[in-house]
Structures are given as structure tokens and as C-alpha cells.
Amino acid sequence: MLIDTHCHLNDPAFSTSLTDVVERARKAGVVAFIVPSYDRESLKTTEELASAYKDLVYPAYGIHPWFVDNHVNLDILRLYIRHKDTVAVGEIGLDFAPDTPPQNLQIDAFSRQLDFARESGLPVLIHCRRAHEAMYQMVKTYYGRIRGVMHSFSGDIEMMNRFLDLGFYISFSGSVTRETAKNYHNNARVVPLDRLLVETDAPSIATKTTIASGVEPRHAVEIAHRLAVLRGISYEEVCTHTTNNAKNLFNLP
């Protein structure tokens, strides 16, 4: 039994195949999906998915740093975050890679959404790329007031430990299944078992066996098997720990 703690079933890529995608995941042993929004349009789609797949799809609401601009209205998030079935604020964060929105706009949007999480008591789903130090400096000011997960974490062990010290969970995607992903392997070997999560980020991150656009929540099984090998424990143990962690973090039944 696994929970995919970060998958975009709200992506248009799944619009015509969603029923089959969900069924394949369930047959593989994936029993729940955390589905975060990422832009204005996906807020409504995420809400509709959660309504259509009650007790299976759990919604998170946020604006991804790629979609932050001068016109984004973050106040609308409050309406969604207040829904009783909302389990997190996300996907939010910082991305300082080239061709992303200006850093000052990202920082402002991230700060406001962290405030929403603090006010609501919900955990955060955080995207971070090439911005780990800036991210850490912002998040640590909320120490003890917010909790959450570093999704598909790509930093080194030292940075991972700093986020762990803030009470955060660390989630592993298909990146950890690839033979050359040594940084991910090193992190996976040492992250405390009570902070470990599994995700696919479908359809965005490839696994060893499948290109990114072909990844579905069922591939959480491949990720969990790789984590078991890296940890030297059984697949069943990975399932037990990550499922319990997801339930604790997101307050799932």
C-alpha cells in the first residue's frame, strides 16, 4: 500500500485517460493521491477531481513559482484552502533557474502562501530548484509554525539535514531510480524513516524505466522498490513507513 504524495492528475495530459490511470495505480497498490494545483486554471480542476474521487484524491492548492507574475491574484487561494477536504498548501516555492519569473515576484508569492499555510494550519508542498539557501532562510522564520515536505528534493545531504531540523519531510520521485542520480541516492540512504515520502510528480519526472510524459502514479511502486534497495530494507517496510508518514503529515484517514 502506497500513497503518491505529489502527482498532477490535474494536468491536461491525463484529461482523456484519467479513469484508466487511476485504475492502474490502484491495481499496483497506490491507495491515495495528493494532487496539488500549480496555476489559476488548475485550482478548479483540482477541486473537481477531489469531488469526483472522494477518499482517493486529496487536494492541495497553491501557485507554482513558474506561474507567478504581476497579475496573479493569490487571494483566491484562501477560498480553496478553506475547503474542508484540503490537505496542503501547494505546489509553492522558489525556482531560480534561467527563464523563470523574477526572483522578487517569486519570493513575495512564496512568502504570502507560507502565511496562508501558517494561518490555516495546513502543511506546505514545496518546489525548490537552484534556490535552496534562499528557501531555507525564508522557511526557517516559520519554524514551529508550519510543516511540510520538500518535494522531489534535489539538494545535498547538508541542506537536507537543515530542512529536517525545521521539521520537514523529504520526498523522493523517479529521479532516485536512475543509476546516475548519486545525490538522490545519498539522501535516500540517510533520511530518517519517519520523514520519508514517495511521489511521482506525474507526468513530469522520468523514472529509470519510463520517460517523464509516460509516468503515472502507478510508478510510485518502482520508486518505493528503489528506496528499499538503497535503504537495505524490504519493499513492504518502505510502504509502511511512507504511508504512515503521509497520513501523519496530511492528516489522512
CATH number at residue 175: 3.20.20.140
Could you give the number of structural domains in the chain? 1
Q: What is the pLDDT of residue 191?
A: 98
* Nearest-angstrom CA–CA distance, 78 and 156: 34
Per-residue pLDDT of the chain (253 residues; tens, 9 = 90+): 999 999 999 999 999 999 999 999 999 999 999 999 999 999 999 999 999 999 999 999 999 999 999 888 899 999 999 999 999 999 999 999 999 999 999 999 999 999 999 999 999 999 999 999 999 999 999 999 999 999 999 999 999 999 999 999 999 999 999 999 999 999 999 999 999 999 999 999 999 999 999 999 999 999 999 999 999 999 999 999 999 999 999 999 9
**Torsion angle of C-alpha atoms 2, 145, 75, 72, degrees rounded to 10:** -70
Could you write out the three-class secondary structure of 4-20?
ECCCCCCCHHHCCCHHH
Could you write out the three-class secondary structure of 130-142?
CCHHHHHHHHHHH
* Spatial CA neighbour of 114 closest among 77, 151, 71: 77
* Nearest-angstrom CA–CA distance, 202 and 9: 7
Per DSSP bridges, beta strands 2-4 and 30-36 are parallel
Q: What is the pLDDT of residue 186?
A: 98
Q: What is the pLDDT of residue 113?
A: 98
Q: What is the pLDDT of residue 73?
A: 86
pTM score > 0.85 for this model? yes
Q: What is the pLDDT of residue 158?
A: 98
Domain that holds residue 71: 2-250
Q: What is the pLDDT of residue 71?
A: 83
How distant, in Å, are the alpha carbons of 9, 34, 35, 162, 173 from that of 201?
9, 10, 9, 23, 7
Q: What is the pLDDT of residue 39?
A: 96
